[in-house]
Amino acid sequence: MKPVDLSAITIDTLPASLHQQQLTIDVLRLDKIHSLISGNKWFKLHNYLEKFRAEGKKRLVTYGGPWSNHLIATAALTHLEKIPSLGLIRGERPSHLSQVLLEAGSLGMELLFLDRDTYRAGMLPPSIDPNQDLIVPQGGYGKEGMTGAMKILDYCDPSHYSHICCAVGTGTMMAGLIKAAAASQEVMGFSVMKNNFELLPAVEKLLQGKAPHARIDHDHHFGGYAKYDQSLLDFMNDLYRKTGIPTDIVYTSKLVYGVLSRAKRGYFPKGGRILLIHSGGLTGNSSLKNGTLIF
């Protein structure tokens, strides 16, 4: 497996025909750094890896659902680093594993399935020893994940932008972007979950304070986490035809759709410069039938 290649990051500008406004909308292509440890995943996991080494832990343990981008990224990173890993999977073991879980297992990650109540409560199985195991929260949520995500803006000149936009799951990356951004910049997160109004408090918990220049969009989740309809699939294919930028059904398609929707409604001021963070996660498309997407 190839290592992470941060030199592959580019900034792509969306054509004005997509929004028909006097704006510049750029996409920071973090998806290019690795096929599995893609987008924001490496940034959120990097400091946990450093903590693992500094504390002399023996195994890295993390959480995720059967289609979790975080889970497969962790499996790939620990495989590269030759670190034992354990994935705590939400839900009973199915008769057929998802493609993500199959690949995570092939990379050496041990899989342990937890019923939803146990998973939701965050209860640790007896086989996990906090003295020996480094436990990484779901999505890399925590100080280590946030401070790692702060480095994302090192790969562009953030002073060029009036708005920085990202898809939001746990809020970890968004917290890092807020911490790294200037006070004059608005950081907008597009929630991929329906009615998840605890997102901003979760972000502010990481920041240990209020985030007056942060906004959460709750209107472009397409029904909830990993939910989609034909219009979103058509949008993803059309975006790829016009820009060559692939997106996923869970996060980045909803981000781009939401930003363009707001742009067309005049949310962003004329002359605004908008930066979208492409957080990778294209493995989320593996649940789709072959041929659904053109990329």
Tens of pLDDT, residues 84-128:
999 999 999 999 999 999 999 999 999 999 999 999 988 899 999
Residue 237 buriedness (CB in 10 A; 0-12 / 13-18 / 19+):
middle
Q: Would 212 be classed as within a structural domain?
A: yes
Whether residue 18 sits in one domain with residue 83: no
In 3-state terms, the chain is what percent helix, strand and coil (to 5)? 40, 20, 40
Specify whether the CB–CB gap between 218 and 197 falls below 8 A.
yes
Whether residue 83 sits in one domain with residue 101: yes
Q: Where among 95, 115, 140 does a domain terminate?
A: 140
Tell me the pLDDT tens digit for each residue of 45-75: 999 999 999 999 999 999 999 999 999 999 9
Tell me the pLDDT tens digit for each residue of 122-180: 889 999 999 999 999 999 999 999 999 999 999 999 999 999 999 999 999 999 999 99
Whether residue 275 sits in one domain with residue 193: yes
| Number of domains the chain contains | 2
Q: What is the DSSP code (8-state) at residue 125? A: P
Domain of 47 in residue numbering reads as 41-140
- Tokens at residue 205, please? 């918990």
Whether residue 185 sits in one domain with residue 103: no
Q: Would 89 be classed as within a structural domain?
A: yes
Give CA–CA dist 271/162, Å, rounded.
9
pTM of the model: 0.95
Whether residue 23 sits in one domain with residue 50: no
